[in-house]
Copies of this chain bind each other. A is one copy, B any other.
Amino acid sequence: MPGANGRARVVVVGGGFGGLKVVRALSRVDVAVTLVDRHNYHLFQPLSYQVATGALSPGDIAVPLRRILRRQENARVVMGEVVGFDLAARRVAVAPALAGSEPFTLEYERLVVAGGSAYSYFGHEDWRELALEVKSLDSALEVRGRILQAFEAAELSADPPERADWLTFVVVGAGPTGVEIAGQIAELARDTPAEFRSSDPGSARILLVETTDRVLSGFPPSLSRSALRALEKIGVTPMLGHTVTDIDGRSIELATADGTRSRITARTVVWAAGVTASPLASALADAAPGAELDRSGRLTVEPDLTLPGHAEVMALGDMVAVRDPRTGEAQALPGLAPVAIQQGRYVARSIAAGLSGRDMPPFRYRDKGSLATIGRARAVAQLGPLRVGGVVAWILWLVVHLYYLVGFENRSVVLLRWAYSFFSHGRGTRLITEAAGTPPWARQGAG
């Protein structure tokens, strides 16, 4: 049963790269789209680590969803968290993000779920608080406060070993995000010594812990070697072949493959390892008997991104594994923005095709390459057979990221900040800000 005005109702869950692309690509299709997200903004997640080190402001990389969609009249935005799916009744249960407001349901003819993924703490949920990640904006802001406070504490400490503990930073996971954040902390430490009088941030140790035997293991080995050298050059100590076995807020314990354990005192640990699909994947699987999840919690979807047995439900992005049309094997694509964007575009086309009774060929990912940056003016890039390192890769990285930044204002502000940061070795937004507390209406149970 379509909506009041006869248009098919499409509910899109998640305003990340994939979900937002679905909504935007439906702008000229005769449907009524509702986008549900816990946050009121779209986050340019590949740069959130730069917020964690004060290089960029939250407003530089996050844009209100309402603003992005203000001119798209067939779309509305609902700020809330999806808490359940009723696939038989074609309904989604939503808890408003605003404490005290009543839960409600949204009906759909087409459902698209793009919940993304989070870091996995390998079963140690207690580490989550001790070793924050930089993927979400709120967490990145908290990491920023912790890093900056560690430098402040080192400056106040009169005890050299204690000072060294404050100036030891451990980054867990040497994928693109881990490499980027380690590089940024190293540069932050190297750029700021003139600001301190007692301690020397330049003496900070930045350890990059990685279980495998190389950094950026998703890249070709030659680029991994090049990235490793670049990291060492800017002062990062890679600890390859090490696994985290304990974190207690004051130190971290590592083990090598042969079982040797060592403990490093460090006040600041940043997490960028493992991956676990959004809980929306298992919520969908619970609602659809026979649906499968892989080891990382990814939902298996058909080659056309539909949920098995539910052609009206599609899922995409790094919360899904796509079944190969030939082998039948579920395959997890890399957790990159281009994958989500291509899938988002495909989903929108598929919805439009469904309305006009056309069939769609299976989704096919076109790999346009990968990029990772290592501090200022260094990066590695893989573009098909092409492998590039150094400044050329960095300029490529810059162009690609600026190109994809949503909205004119952010683009120019970010460029200005980067240019300034680059030439001055300064960081504009190294602010230690506090919490936003609970609003009074929430505390008083009003609604």
A residues contacting B by CB (< 8 A) are 39-41, 57-60, 62, 64, 66-67, 69-71, 76-80, 96-98, 101, 104, 129-130, 137-138, 141-142, 145-146, 148-149, 152-153, 155-157, 192, 194-198, 248-250, 267, 408-410, 412-413, 416-417, 420, 424, 426, 428-437, 439-441, 443-444, 446
| Contact between B416 and A39, CB atoms less than 8 A apart | no
> Are A98 and B153 in touch, CB under 8 angstroms?
yes
Using A77-B195, A138-B433, A409-B420 as known contacts, list a sample of 10 further A-B pairs with CB atoms less than 8 Å apart, ordered by residue number in A: A40-B148, A71-B194, A76-B197, A96-B153, A97-B149, A129-B440, A138-B436, A145-B436, A149-B439, A409-B424
Q: How far is the CA of A41 from the CA of B409 in the complex (A)?
A: 25
CA distance A269 to B444 in the complex (A): 15
The answer to whether A433 touches B79 (Cβ under 8 A) is no
- How many Å lie between the Cα of A141 and that of B39 in the bound state? 16
Shortest Cβ gap from A204 to chain B (Å): 15
12 contacts between A and B (CB under 8 A): A40-B148, A41-B430, A57-B58, A59-B428, A76-B198, A77-B195, A96-B153, A98-B152, A137-B431, A145-B436, A146-B439, A434-B435
A59 interface neighbour in B57, B77, B412, Cβ under 8 Å: B57
Q: How far is the CB of A142 from chain B (nearest CB, A)?
A: 5
CB of A436 within 8 A of CB of B67, answer no
Q: Is the CB of A436 within 8 A of B435?
A: yes
Q: Could you say how many copies of this chain the assembly holds? A: 2
Q: Which of chain B's residues has its CB closest to A63's CB?
A: B428
In angstroms, Cα B148 to Cα A64, docked, is 10
A137 B194 Cβ-Cβ under 8 A: no
Given contacts A57-B57, A58-B57, contact A98 B416 (CB under 8 A): no
**Do A152 and B413 touch across chains, with their CB atoms under 8 A apart?**
no
Chain B's nearest CB lies how many Å from the CB of A26?
15
- A193 to chain B: closest CB distance in Å? 9
Bound Cα distance from A59 to B142, whole angstroms = 15
CB-CB nearest in chain B for A250: B446
Q: A70-B194, A76-B197 are in contact. Are A431 and B250 (CB under 8 A)?
A: no
Docked CA distance A203–B66 (Å): 18
Residues of chain B within 8 A of A70, CB atoms compared: 192, 194-195
In the bound complex, do residue A41 and residue B420 qualify as a contact, i.e. CB atoms below 8 Å apart? no
Rounded to whole angstroms, the CA-CA distance of A385 and B64 in the bound complex is 45
Q: Report how far A123 CA is from B149 CA in the complex, Å.
A: 34
Known: A67-B426, A409-B417, A416-B413. A152 touches B40 (CB 8 A): yes
